[in-house]
Amino acid sequence: MGRLAVLGGIGFLVFRPAVSQQRAYPPFVSLVLNVMLPIYFVHRVPAGWASTAGLGVGFLGLFFGLCLVMIALQTWIGVALARFPGTAVSMRTQFVMLFALQNAGFLPLPILERLVSDSIIIATFFYLFAYNLVLWSIALPIIKDGRFSLRSFRFRLSPSLAAMAIGFLIAVTGADRFIPDTADRIMGRIADVALDAILVALGGALAGIRDRVRVRREHLVFLSAKLLVYPAVMIGIAALPWPGFGDPEFAWGMRAFLVLQAAVPPATQILVLTKSIAGEEATHYTGGMILLTYLASLLTIPAFMAITILLYAT
């Protein structure tokens, strides 16, 4: 978490000036999201595929389904909180969307890479595969129109989604043996830097939120439910017995994964999408909520991960 805070802080400071935010940040984040992150997926999936050899399709499918279950659960919680009169929600669609869609990749991946085995990392990509399908094919129409219908559903292939699919294809077919060693080393170095670059880009995204935020009751309810109560409940759920799938480190990795996904703040992509297709009021609301949750998560994520390590680490 210290590395995350430092790199995020660097991104915030570098891209905080208006000129830097307008001229340097867009090409930088485009490079990270459309080049470096896809290379990370294309290289990382085949590199860690051997760790899943004896686990079977059920192991990987579990994470794909788990993503859909967690998003559905988080949506239900968000709707319940938004309907509660005491929450005093001013923008219901944005409130629910922010609760439903967490930062599933940018924050968890750098942390998980240092905590869990390769098999959990590869399984995480299946989780992210499902997450990207939901984000671009379902969440985007909701942000645009304020509602979702089957008519608005349209499959959208993002660079990361395509890169994960290519990585899986290379791993399954064994095509990675045809990649020249020099090219593989270059991709490996880019992949190593990609996760750090993502954190810098995340800091830059937060630096672009310039509207003054007035903390209201709905912010406090959101922060309490999203960053305190929900991950605390997930720590209890993590205590359940998990199947080993032949991997002695799976149970620990699964518990760390669950708690971390519950503890992370909302996805910054929601702000990017809101800026591009929604109004100024929605953008201000989304930006304020994201800024508050990310500041608070600097304290809550280390605390919950420390508890998880203390309770469950093998």
Tell me, letter by letter, the H, E, C secondary structure of 139-203.
Answer: HHHHHHHCCCCHHHCCCCCCHHHHHHHHHHHHHHHCHHHHCCHHHHHHHHHHHHHHHHHHHHHHH
Q: Give the pLDDT confidence of 65-100 residue by residue, as tens digits.
A: 999 999 999 989 999 999 988 888 888 888 988 999
Cα-Cα-Cα-Cα torsion 98, 310, 124, 264, nearest 10 degrees, comes to 10
Which structure tokens are listed for 256?
């760390």
Q: What is the pLDDT at residue 149? A: 53
Per-chain mean pLDDT for the chain: 85
Pair of tokens at residue 155: 């499959």
Which one is predicted more confidently, 155 or 115?
A: 115
Q: Which residue has the higher pLDDT, 100 or 56?
A: 100
Question: Tokens 């800024």, residue?
Answer: 291
Domain boundaries, the chain: 2-312
Q: Considering only the top CATH level, what class is 2-312? A: mainly alpha
In this prediction, residue 114 carries a pLDDT of: 87
Mean pLDDT of 149-161: 66
Q: What percent of the chain has pLDDT over 70?
A: 87
Taking 80 as the threshold, does the pLDDT of residue 262 lie above it? yes
The dihedral sign for the CA sequence 243, 246, 249, 254: negative
Is the pLDDT assigned to residue 148 strictly greater than 90? Answer: no
Range from 18-32, 164-178, 238-252 carrying the lowest mean pLDDT: 238-252
Q: What is the pLDDT of residue 13?
A: 93
Whether 272 has a pLDDT exceeding 80, the answer reads no
- Residue 53, pLDDT > 70, answer no
**In the prediction, which pLDDT does 286 show?**
87
Arithmetic mean of pLDDT, 164-179: 89
Q: What is the pLDDT of residues 223-233, one digit of tens each?
A: 999 999 999 99
Q: What pLDDT score was predicted for residue 236?
A: 94
Mean pLDDT of 15-41: 91
